[in-house]
Amino acid sequence: MANKQQYNKNTMMSNELGKLPPQVLDLEEAVLGALMLEKDAFVQISELLKPEHFYKEAHQFIYQAIMNLEAQEQPVDMLTVTQELKRLGKIEEVGGAFYVSQLTSKVASAAHIEFHARIIWQKFLQRRMIEISSELQTKAYDDGIDVNDLLEEAESTFFMLSQGSMKREAVQINPVIQEAIDRIKVAAARGDGLSGVASGFTALDRITSGWQGSALIIIAARPAMGKTAFVLSMTRQMALNHKIPVAIFSLEMSNVELVNRLVVSETELSADKIKKGNLAPYEWEQLDHKIQNLIDAPIFVDDTAGLSVFELRAKCRRLKKQHDIQCIIIDYLQLMNASGMSPGNRQEEVSIISRSLKGLAKELDVPVIALSQLNRGVESRAGNEGKRPQLSDLRESGAIEQDADMVCFIHRPEYYRITEDEQGNSLIGMAEIIIAKHRAGPTADVRLRFRSELARFQDVEEDMFDDGGGGFSQEPAAQSLPSKMNSGGEDGAPNLPDFPDMNAGFDKDMPF
């Protein structure tokens, strides 16, 4: 049925445009003939060609018969293909046994079958583009169709066509090993032990070795836990301290709101004062002085609402080419759409989005960091350990966990009015970054300080510890702890100093 529809579309295209669609019948005949001459020829093109890629309907039926024989591990030759066509009831439609037999005279060997198959594939793509464009042109004249719906349909159709056209061949391991060694040498030359993009958080970078190229990283948390604040703190350090170009796609906040957050974090001025413009003269000077750091920062912000995966991919390709972006941040995943791909349900749509984000990371060889919401299961559990997010709390789709190379949760016990851990250490102003999945390394919990008045995460300051001998030793207080994700919360946390309350006088539930 599908073959018949394709044939009718080809005929319609020919009639409407007054000329034949792109085609190479002689190469189609040569490919089919070669498949019946040499038993190993099919292996070379099996991943490239499908029956509908042939222009002539008879060739579609013959190729389908060859595929059937290969699937049954039966020999493929003129006689077996003829018998299979008879079994399918298509022998007369292809022109009888004579037509099948004369195909083998069209080619001497299968030496160039892959090259010929690629040309057939290219002609198919050309026909599809003509067909899609013709349908869109017809719909564009219809005033009853919403233009945004039409744009979405065009995006999704061409996106799926381009996805299907991206074929990668397996390569011998030697050049891959060389590339791996080159990356190790680059990491060694840096001297900081990082092989990826630095997040700017010391303990986190120690575990991850930086966000790795081609990785999909999910940062998940309940609302008001600080997802946006975390990635903005990270963006600020990447761009200002390490001069790393970063692209931020904000589907929830406008560009101005996002930049205001960065301004508050950089100037350390009150968010309320900046919002109202109620600044003292010295604060205006402070604003003018510190904002200079941000003006030339390699941060690229896009606040397109309802961004589709097709639009995202196009925008990121352009940013990579023009500004060599090294990290992509999306705030947040559930606000994206699958560009009119008509999935069966929202869970399927989220699966399409997560797969597309992973594909984008691999294509551009940059880390893609996507924020994600958690479901309400966290709220129903009691105690600090109960409030700690789990992989099963990821909202709407298990595909997010499956596609991600790393899943990190943000947990702030103080938000749930939990102010001390099991050992009595203060948790006020503290946050945990829970690395629950790490495909290329260990899982762990990293403690950071969260300053709600600045909507900023930062390494825990260095504190003085009594060394027991009458003196003091200075140690970095930013800590990475063994992960509790698989322990049921039974590992004891190490003793931490009683940190001062950094949030005194501020609303602990400020929605950052």
> Which single residue is written with the structure tokens 């940013």?
319
Cβ-based burial of 263 (10 A; exposed 0-12, middle 13-18, buried ≥19): middle
Q: Helix %, strand %, coil % for the chain, to 5?
A: 50, 15, 35
Integer Cα distance of 490 and 114 in angstroms: 59
Is residue 345 within 8 A of residue 265, CB to CB? The reply is: no
Integer Cα distance of 182 and 310 in angstroms: 33
**How many other C-beta atoms lie within 10 A of the C-beta of residue 293?**
14
Q: What is the DSSP annotation of 187-245?
A: HHHHSSS-SSB--S-HHHHHHHSSBPTT-EEEEEE-TTSSHHHHHHHHHHIIIIIS---
Cβ-based burial of 273 (10 A; exposed 0-12, middle 13-18, buried ≥19): middle
Integer Cα distance of 29 and 322 in angstroms: 44
Cβ-based burial of 380 (10 A; exposed 0-12, middle 13-18, buried ≥19): exposed
Q: Let me know if 252 is a catalytic residue.
A: yes
> Which single residue is written with the structure tokens 């019946």?
36
Cβ-based burial of 322 (10 A; exposed 0-12, middle 13-18, buried ≥19): exposed
Q: What dihedral do alpha carbons 223, 228, 234, 238 form, nearest 10°?
A: 160
Integer Cα distance of 269 and 370 in angstroms: 28
Integer Cα distance of 412 and 448 in angstroms: 10
Kind and range of the H or E element at 448? strand 444-451
Paired with 472 in beta bridges are: 466
Strands, E assignment, 261-380: 299-302, 327-331, 368-373
> Which single residue is written with the structure tokens 């606000």?
335
- Identify the CA nearest to 228 among candidates 456, 508, 404: 456
Could you tell me the two tokens for 393?
């709390």
Q: Residues 52, 252, 283, 363: which is the catalytic one?
A: 252
Is residue 199 within 8 A of residue 234, CB to CB? The reply is: yes
Cβ-based burial of 167 (10 A; exposed 0-12, middle 13-18, buried ≥19): exposed
Could you tell me the two tokens for 272?
């309320």
Residues annotated as part of the active site = 252
